[in-house]
Amino acid sequence: MRRLVMRLILLGFTLAVAVLTPFIVQAMEKPIIYFSFDNIKGDTVPDLSGNGNDGTMENNPKIVNGQFGKGLEFESSRVKVKASDTLTPDLFKEGMFTLVIWINAKRTGNAWQQIFRAGPAPNDTLFINSNGRLSWRGWVGAAWAGGMCETAPGVVEANKWTHATVVSDKKHFRVYVNGELSKESSFQE
């Protein structure tokens, strides 16, 4: 089974949601996907990894200044990726991954907002709660695993840049906030 590492850098995220920059990497190999948001052409967000995983902006996210470079502000909008064979629906089931994001959340609107979702249901999803809680949830084996790895409330402050990372080593999920371990849980199957 091939080992995968996933890294997603979201350059901003306001809730309603602000700015994303995904960067997905295969272990010891070249990136699977990388969006900088500095090179958007029309509604296309080019995948700078060379794998053809270009994103298409839907419902007009606003191009804004992010934590680094440009980013997107989402309010009822998203960037959808038509995946090549390098970005499979089983990316998170097949091996290790790392998902890295920058969040600048307004923390308004629905109680739970998706920051990242890996495909249609069933899927793996990173949520932020209106109270500043991060929750990594996913479909593992044949069941929805609910709050697989969920932080305490308040780890993401409203209107302040926060660096968050989700890591899987196939045994544990870990959520780091601003470089500090915030939550660890066992892999649920």
pLDDT digits (tens, 9 = 90+) for 58-75: 888 888 888 888 888 877
Convert the pLDDT of each residue in 106-164 to its tens digit: 876 667 777 777 666 556 778 888 889 998 876 666 665 655 788 999 999 998 989 99
Rg (CA), the chain: 15
In this structure, the number of other CB atoms found within 10 A of the CB of residue 170 comes to: 13
Q: Report yes or no on 62 lying in a domain.
A: yes
Burial of 16 (0-12, 13-18, 19+ CB in 10 A): middle
Q: Report yes or no on 63 lying in a domain.
A: yes
- Report helix, strand or coil for 87: coil
Q: Residue with structure tokens 């590492």?
A: 5
Q: Report yes or no on 138 lying in a domain.
A: no
Q: Report yes or no on 127 lying in a domain.
A: no
| H or E segment and range at residue 142 | none
Cβ-contact 18, 2 below 8 angstroms? no
Distance CA 43, CA 12 (A): 19
Residue 4 banded pLDDT, cuts 50, 70, 90: very low
Domain limits for position 180: 8-108+155-186
Q: Report yes or no on 80 lying in a domain.
A: yes
Average pLDDT of the chain is: 72
**End-to-end Cα spacing for the chain:** 17
Can you say whether the dihedral through the CA atoms of 157, 117, 15, 46 is positive or negative?
A: positive
Q: Report yes or no on 101 lying in a domain.
A: yes
- In the structure, how many helices (H) and strands (E) does the chain have? 0, 18
How many independent structural domains does the chain possess?
1
CA dihedral defined by 90, 92, 96, 97, rounded to 10 degrees?
130
Amino acid at site 32:
I
Q: Report yes or no on 137 lying in a domain.
A: no
Q: Report yes or no on 86 lying in a domain.
A: yes
